[in-house]
Amino acid sequence: QVQLVESGGGLVQAGGSLRLSCVLSGLTFSRCTMGWFRQAPGKDREFVATISWSSGRTYYTDAVKGRFTISRDNAKNTVYLQMNSLKPEDTAVYYCAADRSLRSPLTTRATDYGYWGQGTPVTVSS
């Protein structure tokens, strides 16, 4: 059974930081591209960041470049999202996702990720 369990969300003031974690079980983590997506109230789910299974190459949506960092620890089956300089518009439920297809190049399409966590809420107050 595949499970992705996110943690680390919460309430933070604008300008603050949070680190999200996501632990994957049931798949070979080192062979999964991992992604973070978010969904704000009343909006569609959107891509945030992704990290490749092989080279550790990363890609970010423009809105978070320079503020967010995605990383992975294959020994712990965990992917992280370090979020700095948070803004109220970053408020959303953040979802971790896994793609085991070994595709290249990296994908930002939610439909390419076959496995999802339950989400962790992030609220940034102004």
For residue 86, the model assigns a pLDDT of: 98
| Residue 9 to residue 110: CA distance in whole angstroms | 21
pLDDT digits (tens, 9 = 90+) for 14-30: 999 999 999 999 999 99
For residue 55, the model assigns a pLDDT of: 82
pLDDT digits (tens, 9 = 90+) for 78-116: 999 999 999 999 999 999 999 999 888 889 999 999 999
pLDDT digits (tens, 9 = 90+) for 32-42: 999 999 999 99
- CB distance 32 to 98 below 8 Å: yes
| Residue 21 to residue 4: CA distance in whole angstroms | 10
Half-sphere exposure of 76 (CA within 13 A, CB side): 10
Among residues 81, 119, 102, 111, which one has the least CA distance to residue 33? Answer: 102
For residue 95, the model assigns a pLDDT of: 98
